Each structure stands twice: as C-alpha cells, then as structure tokens.
Amino acid sequence: MSREYRPVSSEYQLGVFVDSVMHYFENAVQQPAACGIPHLAVRASPQLADYTGVVRICGQRDGMVVFTAPRSMLCVMLMCMQDTDLSHEHLCELVGKIADTLSGDAERIFRFQYSISVRSTVNERDAPLVYPPHARPIVIPIAWRSYQARLVVCLAG
Amino acid sequence: MKPQPQDWNALADLGSASATGSARRSERSWPPAGTGAASGAVAAAAAAHRTLLAMPLAAIALFGCGLLAAHGGAALRGALAGGAVVLALLLPLTLYAQRQARERINDAAAARRQLANILGSLHEGLFLIGRDLRLSATGSASMREMLRLGTPAGRRFEDVLRALLLDEETLAAAVTFLQLLWADQADEQAIEPLNPLSQVEVSFTNSRGASERRFLSFSFRRVAGSRPTDDGILGMVTDVTERVLLVRELEQAQADADSQADLLLELVRADPVALVAFLDDADDAFRKSNAILSASAIGQPQLHRKLMGVLQQMDAITAEAQALPFASFTQRLLGIDTVLSGLCARTSLIGNDFLPAVVRLDELMSHAATMRSIHQHIVLLRAASAALAALDERAASRTPAPVTPAVT
C-alpha cells in the first residue's frame, strides 16, 4: 500500500518563521507587512540587503534563518516607532531585535527539536553567509509599505 | 516553580466521582475541598457570631419591656445594669468568634488565591462543563489561549468545538461521548477509550485571516459538586502539535527508507538514456517553475497565472514519470499537483499559501538529485564490472593451453 507523502513539518516550520516576522511588524511597527510569493534560491545564494539578522539553528535539522532589509526600510520603521536615532548601531540593533523575535518564537515552538543560537547581525560589508551544503534556501519576500525585505530559511536534511 | 502534570492529576483527583451516591459525592467533589470547606466554615462562623450577639440583646430588650410595663423606671434601670454586666461578659466571647471568622475568611481568600495561581500557571488547559454542556467560569489561563476563547463562561462546549473541528462527525461523536459521560450507569474508565477528542486536528483563523492548524488532546472526568447542581465534567486540553508532527516525520523517514530500496531497483531496471533524459527534463521543469514563482506578480489574476504555469510544468513531468515508470517520483509529483490544484480552486491567494508548494518543489529537486547521484554510481559500477570482465577474458585468452604428454 502506498503511503501519502505529507512533509507537514517543513511547512509548519516555515509558517512559524513567517508568522513571527509578520507579528513583529504588526506589534512593534503597528503596520502589517505582506508575505510575497516564496521561491528557492537555486543557482546562487540569496542576495542580502544592507542589514541582516541571522539566527543559527541546530538539532533535528541544521541551518539558519535570516532577515535582511534595506537601510531605508529600517529607517522608516524606526521613525514609525517614534525613534529619531538612525545611526548604524541603532539600525543593527533593530534588525537584531527582529532576529531576536525569530529566535524567541523558534525557541518557544521548537524547544524539543532545535537548539537556537544567539542571533547575530551582519551587514553588506561582512563576509557572505555560508549556507548548509546541499540545501536550497527558501526566500520569502516581505513587503512593507513600498519596501522589500527578505526572510531566508535554509534548513538542511 | 510551575505545577507539573502529576500535580495537575492530584488536582483533578479532587473532582473525579460518579454522579450517583452522596457518600462518593463528599469523597470527591468540586470545588476542591480546601476552598469549599473554608467558605462553608466562614458562613457558619458568621452565623454563629450573629446569633451570639443577637440572642442576649433580644432577651434583654424583652425583659426590659416587661419590667417597664410591670414595675416602672427604677426596675428598668436595674435590669439595664444587669444587662450591661451580661454584655460585658459576652464581649470577649464575641471578639473571639469574630477573630475566628476573620481567620477563616483569610484562609478562604488564600485558598482562592492558590487556586487562581494554579489555574494561571498550568500548561494544560483546564475547564469545567455543566450538565447543560456549557462551560463554567472556572478554567485555566492556558485553556483560553489554546482554544482561543476570550470569555468561556456560559458558552456551549458544542459551539466552541464547532468553530475548531474540521468535520461534523467528530463534533457529533464528541457530544454523544459527553452525554454518555453524564449517564449514571456509565463506567468512566470503560468509556474513556471512546473519547473522540483524545487527539484531534483543529483549525484557528488568525488575525490576518490565515488558517493555523494545531493538534489538541482532550480528556474528560466526571466530577461531583457539594450539591447535585454543582456536578460537572472536568476537561483537560493539551497542545500535542509538536508530538504529532514528530511522529509523522518519523513515519515519513521510515517510508523514505523503504522507498530507497524501491528507488534503487527502479534505477537499475531503467533504460539509462531515457533516465538521463527524464532527469534533465525534470530539472528544467523545476527551474522554470521556480523562475515563475520568483517573478514579481501583483493582483489575484497574476497569482493564478503563476499557479497555472507551475501546474503545466509539473503535469508534463508527471506524464513522463508515469510513462517510464518512476513510482517514487510520480508519488511526489502527485503531492505537489494536489497542493497546486487546491490553490487554483481558491478565489483569493496570499503569499503564505504558496509555502507548501515551494516545500514540495524543494523535495522534488532533492529527489531528482538523489536519483541522478544513484544513477551515476550505477553507471560507474557497470563500467567497472565490464572492465573487470574484459580483463578476465583477455587474461584467459593469453594463458597458453596446458601441454599434454604425447602418447607413444
């Protein structure tokens, strides 16, 4: 008898990360974002924007979750939060907060399956991210006002 | 420290009892003995206190009225002085009774606070259902979170389930089970395995209108209150989504392991030229599908056009896989086909809806890569085996024939 092929977990995990980012926009910035059509980064690594927050994951599956956004978007987000400090450090902190939200939600929901590392922030000048071999990152565009950020989920095995 | 499940069981034990028999009612009742006994004692103490004060005052008043009527003012003054002496003697008793009542009130308040703390910190959702199958106000905070209920008090449990469950059959079975649980003749332990909600898939609609699926496990125990009207069913709900998904993943891994052997057989039997051509076509179709998904699209018509484009690519590959035949590939292609067809039927699409399709596309690409890798190994093994056979043949032809001695 043939079994039904139902890889529920991967979709569920992706959904958790997407929801986490959406909630951040709803709660912290008070303006909802929209999830674009996801696709795979097949030929090359996904392009990173000016500021990137990274959450490394190990356990049942190894990999990383990345939130990357342009500087202009982060500046407007800060202004929406009534924050006038638009320095590089402050922008890094904002993208770090989004990564913290991702890691917090992942830790809460996947506490039995994964160990979530402390988030790190990188920017365009840093070395490119190294994704797990033989894994294709899933890129989920996040549209907020007229800006585009990206959520990249890459879990191997 | 948060209470553990065994603590919760202890709490639940307070309430489990059959609906018949007053002896068993007093043995196990809801609310828990601590709070119920304390509040009863407070009421009794307050009543005794009131009686203690009212009776002598009433007696003195009656006696004074009698004296006034019979003997006049002097006798009344004497009687009032006597009454004052009696009251002075009663005062310490009254104060003692008052103190006792206050202590019991404090105990009752402490018990209520403890109960509220327990209900607030339980991981499991706890709730109470009345004989009319309506939820009572008593319930843990996690229950409201798990069932997404703002104000559970007074709501019909059937209505709560109707909003969560995916099918009417489970709902009907759940209502029947709860009614059966109320029956005096029913053996609680015997009917427990019949619980249709022991593991059930539920669906919530979040604030953005997207559907969220969870797996919940309900368990129910009949409880008896101090009065028959207080009888209820104590329900417990836990979120077992993680556990269910892990089990499914394990089953999937086992199925994958089984299919590896089938895949190897398929590849050994396949025509190498046709196989490579199929894998090239599949790779091309997957990349085209991914390119379609990654292209920008605005509005529902464009989203539907994207879907149709991906579906066409997949249909072409499915036909090819069925013709060869590659069962493992066909199975996965039918999986993505079902997802895409489901999306096509929707009138409104959002980006989130495409996540299952992308996950399946990723799995198809991985499967194609595995097939190509195994095929390359098979080709290498065949080549090596052919080379060895050729060497053996050459070695055999070079070996001189054994010289046989001439017979004279």
Model confidence over B169-203: pLDDT tens digits? Answer: 899 999 999 888 888 777 888 888 889 999 998 88
In a domain, A28, yes or no: no
Q: Kindly give, in sequence order, each residue whose CB lies less than 8 Å from that of residue B227, ignoring residues fewer than 6 positions away.
A: none
Query: Considering B239, B270, B291, which residue would you say is the last residue of a domain?
Result: B239
| The total number of structural domains that make up chain B | 3
For residue B226, give the CATH number of its domain.
Answer: 3.30.450.20
Residues B207 and B95 in one domain: no
Instruction: Count residue pairs from A and B with Cβ separation < 8 A.
Output: 92
In a domain, B154, yes or no: yes
In a domain, B97, yes or no: yes
In a domain, B45, yes or no: yes
The whole-angstrom separation of Cα B192 and Cα B170 is: 16
In a domain, B54, yes or no: yes
Handedness of CA B172, B175, B177, B180 (dihedral sign): negative
Per-residue pLDDT tens digits for B293-308: 988 877 888 888 888 9
Structural domain for B191, as ranges: 125-239
In a domain, A5, yes or no: no
The predicted model scores a pTM of: 0.61
Please calculate the CA angle B307-B310-B314 and round it to the nearest 5 degrees. 135
In a domain, A88, yes or no: yes
Residues B374 and B260 in one domain: yes
Cα→Cα distances B314→A135, B277, B290, Å: 22, 16, 11
Angle, in degrees to the nearest 10, between helices B272-294 and B300-323: 170
How confident is the model over B138-167, as a mean pLDDT? 86
Query: Considering B121, B144, B171, which residue would you say is the last residue of a domain?
Result: B121
For residue A103, give the CATH number of its domain.
Answer: 3.40.1550.10
Q: Which residue of A has its CA nearest to B296?
A: A37
In a domain, A127, yes or no: yes
| The total number of structural domains that make up chain A | 1
Phi-psi group of B72: left, alpha or beta (phi > 0 → left; psi -120 to 50 → alpha; rest → beta): left
Residue B127 near residue B140 (C-beta atoms within 8 A):
yes
Residues B131 and B51 in one domain: no
Q: Do B255 and A139 touch (CB under 8 A)?
A: no
Does the predicted interface ipTM exceed a cut of 0.90? no
Residues B351 and B263 in one domain: yes
Per-residue pLDDT tens digits for B120-133: 888 889 998 988 88
Residues B317 and B197 in one domain: no
Q: Which of A78-82, B81-85, B112-116, B217-221 has the lowest mean pLDDT?
A: B81-85
Q: Do A42 and B255 touch (CB under 8 A)?
A: no
In a domain, B186, yes or no: yes
Residues B158 and B207 in one domain: yes
For residue B314, give the CATH number of its domain.
Answer: 1.20.120
In a domain, A52, yes or no: yes
In a domain, B9, yes or no: no
Q: Which chain B residues have a beta carbon less than 8 Å from that of A18? A: 352, 355
Q: Do A7 and B359 touch (CB under 8 A)?
A: yes
Residues B371 and B253 in one domain: yes
Residues B81 and B190 in one domain: no
In a domain, B404, yes or no: no
Interface of B with A (CB under 8 A): 206-208, 212, 241-242, 245-246, 248-249, 251-252, 255, 287, 290, 293-294, 297, 303, 306, 327, 331-332, 335, 350-352, 354-356, 358-363, 365-366, 369
In a domain, A17, yes or no: no
In a domain, A9, yes or no: no
Query: Considering B239, B269, B286, which residue would you say is the last residue of a domain?
Result: B239
Q: Do A12 and B245 touch (CB under 8 A)?
A: yes
Residues B275 and B256 in one domain: yes
Q: Do A39 and B294 touch (CB under 8 A)?
A: yes
Structural domain for A47, as ranges: 33-156
What is the per-residue pLDDT for B47?
Answer: 67
Residues B371 and B319 in one domain: yes
Per-residue pLDDT tens digits for B8-18: 444 344 333 33
Residue with the bigger pLDDT between A128 and A89: it is A89
The three state secondary structure string of chain B is CCCCHHHHHHHHHCCECCCCCHHHHHHCEECCHHHHHHHHHHHHHHHHHHHHHHHHHHHHHHHHHHHHHHHCHHHHHHHHHHHHHHHHHHHHHHHHHHHHHHHHHHHHHHHHHHHHHHHHHCCCEEEEECCCCEEEEEECHHHHHHCCCCCCCCCEHHHHHHHHECCHHHHHHHHHHHHHHHCCCCCHHHHHHHCCCCCEEEEEECCCCCEEEEEEEEEEEEEEECCHHHCEEEEEEEECHHHHHHHHHHHHHHHHHHHHHHHHHHHHHCCHHHHHHHHHHHHHHHHHHHHHHHCCCCCHHHHHHHHHHHHHHHHHHHHHHHHCCCHHHHHHHHHHHHHHHHHHCCCCCCHHHHHHHHHHHHHHHHHHHHHHHHHHHHHHHHHHHHHHHHHHHHHHHHCCCCCCCCCC
